[in-house]
Amino acid sequence: MARTDKKEQLKEQPQKTDSQQQDAPPKLPNMGLGMVAIAVYIIGGAATFAGIVLWVFYRDETLWGLGSGEAFGYLGICVGLIMTILGVLLMRLFRNHG
């Protein structure tokens, strides 16, 4: 009797058509997204420390004719901190909703 119930349940479920299967968004692997989050975090930390080095040691020098080391240092510090915060938020997001 249990077998007939399962067969009836299978018959009642609507079958997906080819167009419905193609419209589904692709699923991303959680491990890959976690590695991207860690990479953003590490790159942000490296940019922060590179900005500190530029700000301290190359403060009065012109770099590549584009600007002073102090300006690039501030840019590296700010962008690095933003990337680090983004990496932490992404890691928490992927851990909690994975």
**Global pTM?**
0.63
**51/77 Cα distance (integer angstroms):** 5
Per-residue pLDDT, averaged over 25-36, amounts to: 71
In a domain, 38, yes or no: yes
Q: Which two tokens stand for residue 40?
A: 């953003």
Answer whether residue 41 is part of any domain: yes
91 pLDDT band, cuts 50/70/90, is confident
Q: Give a yes or no: residue 77 inside a domain.
A: yes
Residue 94 lies in a domain: yes
In a domain? residue 25: no
6 belongs to a structural domain? no
Full domain range(s) for residue 86:
33-98
Total of domains in the chain: 1
- 68 near 60, Cβ under 8 Å? yes
**Per-residue 3-state assignment (H helix, E strand, C coil) for 18-79:** HHHHHHCCCCCCHHHHHHHHHHHHHHHHHHHHHHHHHHHHCCCCEECCCEEHHHHHHHHHHH
pLDDT mean over 38-53: 93
**Mean pLDDT to the nearest integer, 30-57:** 89
Give per-residue pLDDT as tens, 46-71: 999 999 998 998 888 887 888 888 88
